[in-house]
Amino acid sequence: MAPKAAKGAKTEPAPPPAGAKPQEDKKDDKEPLEKPQKLVQPKHEVGTRKGCRRYRWELKDSNKEFWLLGHAEIKILSLGCLIAAMILLSSLSVHPILTLIITMEISIFSFFIMLYSFAVHRYIPFILWPISDLFNDLFACAFLVGAVVFAVRSRRSMHLHYLLAVILIGVAGVFALIDMCLQRNNFRGKRAKKHRLISPPGKEKEPQQGKGPEPAKPPEPAKGKK
């Protein structure tokens, strides 16, 4: 008979059968699943917004910029002056060129107001809208001042409504000049510094490590005279 095992001796577990897979720790099914974290979008940039979320952000940011910089107030005042001048001149017989200039400027100012109010310019990036608006203010000021000069010279005696309309056209031209001065806020920080060269970051030449100074070349032997 085989001798009995000594008391207190530890019995070794039997080896697993061949081909058996090691036991894996079973996770508790009741463990709560991790919720996917929402991507935090920056407040002052578009980020990865798409669709309606992007349009809402563009609409809010465009109107904020349009009203806080003073462009909206100036353009609305210019538009109001031109509409009032058009109403006053509608009851009088005036030269067609005055009606043409006033109608043209009303349509252009209305176009830019709708453009910035509905953030349409944010989806047409291939046009430089600040420069376009700057040139529009410049030409509007020139046309309106020219219309005032033409209206004064074309008549010797002025009706009260005619005089008020001419004054309103001149005021609209002044507002266009003020709006042109406000456009410089869009170009701040974009002027290149003159007479100053700055190397781009990360491309500065550093001394090569591991290479000592180049050995001096031995002097060439002097050639004897023949």
3-state secondary structure the chain: CCCCCCCCCCCCCCCCCCCCCCCCCCCCCCCCCCCCCCCCCCCCCCCCCCHHHHHHHHHHHHHHHHHHCCHHHHHHHHHHHHHHHHHHHHCCCCCHHHHHHHHHHHHHHHHHHHHHHCCHHHHCCCCCHHHHHHHHHHHHHHHHHHHHHHHHHHCCCCCHHHHHHHHHHHHHHHHHHHHHHHHHHHHCCCCCCCCCCCCCCCCCCCCCCCCCCCCCCCCCCCCCCC
Does residue 114 belong to any structural domain of this protein?
yes
pLDDT of residue 192: 41
Number of domains within the chain: 1
Work out the end-to-end distance of the chain between its first and last CA atoms, rounded to an integer number of angstroms.
Answer: 118
pLDDT of residue 199: 46
Does residue 210 belong to any structural domain of this protein?
no
pLDDT of residue 195: 40
Determine contact, residues 54/126, Cβ cutoff 8 Å: no
What is the pTM (predicted TM-score) of this model?
A: 0.63
Does residue 12 belong to any structural domain of this protein?
no
pLDDT of residue 55: 80
pLDDT of residue 182: 87
Does residue 86 belong to any structural domain of this protein?
yes
pLDDT of residue 109: 95
Which range of residues forms the domain containing residue 126? Answer: 75-190
Does residue 107 belong to any structural domain of this protein?
yes
Q: Tens-digit pLDDT profile for the chain (226 aa)?
A: 444 555 555 555 666 555 555 555 444 454 555 555 565 565 556 556 676 777 887 888 888 888 888 889 999 999 999 999 999 999 888 899 999 999 999 999 999 999 999 989 888 989 988 899 999 999 999 999 999 999 999 888 888 999 999 999 999 999 999 999 888 766 665 554 444 444 455 554 454 555 555 566 666 665 555 4
Does residue 81 belong to any structural domain of this protein?
yes
Does residue 40 belong to any structural domain of this protein?
no
pLDDT of residue 58: 80
Does residue 147 belong to any structural domain of this protein?
yes
pLDDT of residue 96: 92
